[in-house]
Amino acid sequence: MFKFLKIIFFGIKDIIRIKKRNNKKYTAKERIEICEFCNHFKPKTRQCGICWCFMDIKTKIKNKSCPEDKW
Ligand code: SF4
């Protein structure tokens, strides 16, 4: 249940952030590279340790963003 609420929370946070987004744009390849060097990244499952999204998928979705504002 907590995990579900966390996913909803970060989804809403993403939507708010999109509206405030500045001009920095990264390609999906650049995004995944940033994740791979991030200490929250779980290499075994390739998930983010904060939002628990699967980063190989999330980084390819244009309007998604990093919960830590790294991309
Ligand atoms: S989405 Fe952000 S916080 Fe999560 S692993 Fe990638 S760079 Fe790190």
- Better-predicted residue by pLDDT, 14 or 69: 69
Q: What is the pLDDT of residues 22-69, one digit of tens each?
A: 557 899 999 999 999 999 999 999 999 999 999 999 999 999 999 999
Distance separating alpha carbons of residues 60 and 17, to the nearest angstrom: 17
How many angstroms separate the first and last alpha carbons of the chain? 28
Confidence at residue 20, expressed as pLDDT on a 0 to 100 scale: 58
Does the global pTM surpass 0.75?
Answer: no
Number of domains making up the chain:
1
Beta partners for 47?
Answer: 42, 54
Q: Is the CB of 32 under 6 A from ligand 1?
A: no
Residue nearest ligand 1's atom 6 by CA: 35
Give the distance (Å) from ligand 1 centre to CA of residue 54: 10
Give the distance (Å) from ligand 1 centre to CA of residue 25: 15
Residue nearest ligand 1's atom 4 by CA: 48
| Full domain range(s) for residue 43 | 1-16+25-71
Confidence at residue 8, expressed as pLDDT on a 0 to 100 scale: 72
